[in-house]
Amino acid sequence: LEGVTTGSTFVLEQPRCVFNDYSDADIWLVVALEKAKATFNNSVAPGTAERAFQNFPESTSAYMTLNATLANYPCPKPDGDITVLRVGSETSCIQDEERPTCNGPLPGPGPYLVKFLALKGSEPVAETDWSQPIMLRAAKSPNSITTMDGGYSAGMIALTTILSILFTILLAGLVAMLVFWGSDACGGGSSTFSKPEAVTVRRYNTHHVYDQPAARL
């Protein structure tokens, strides 16, 4: 299934209508490195050190997990049933050696191969072919991430442009406000009141009132 891999898990379709003749068998999932394809021994029992998840991939190239019976994979599929398995979804048993069949996270990007194996007791009675190689997603190395302009996405460039325009508008508005306030302060002399100087009015006597003799009746 495409688009269902992460850095440590992947999804498989359940083996529906594959082991119909083996109703009393246990069905196991085998997860292996690519190099194990030619040397895999299907008679090695699950839960042994050679098939333990905790020893993968250092001392074993394949482990067995997700055991089920045919009842878990009915054929045909009932409506509403989930028909996929997520490999690598358990985290609580990674270091638990008492859970050698742990469905733990995959230790690297792969490639990995998988197959389903039906065991009756410890005897293999049926199995599927190996899958195609499965690659998981790998994180980028920090050294491979460029910091040059060419590494920016179109969205980031557009966002930077918009922010630059908004900043320019804000700066222009601030300058205009400062100019307006400055011109208002300079033109304020017409409304500034100063103390008026004292005005002295000299008193004059009219000479003709006193120099001429009194009018006779």
Cβ 137 vs Cβ 6: under 8 Å: yes
First CA to last CA distance, the chain: 143
0.75 surpassed by pTM: no
**What are the residue ranges in the chain where pLDDT is below 70?**
1-3, 139-154, 183-217
Rounded Cα distance between 99 and 76, Å, is: 32
Residues 81-121: tens digit of each pLDDT: 888 999 999 999 999 999 999 999 999 999 999 999 999 98
Cβ atoms < 10 Å from Cβ of 72 = 13
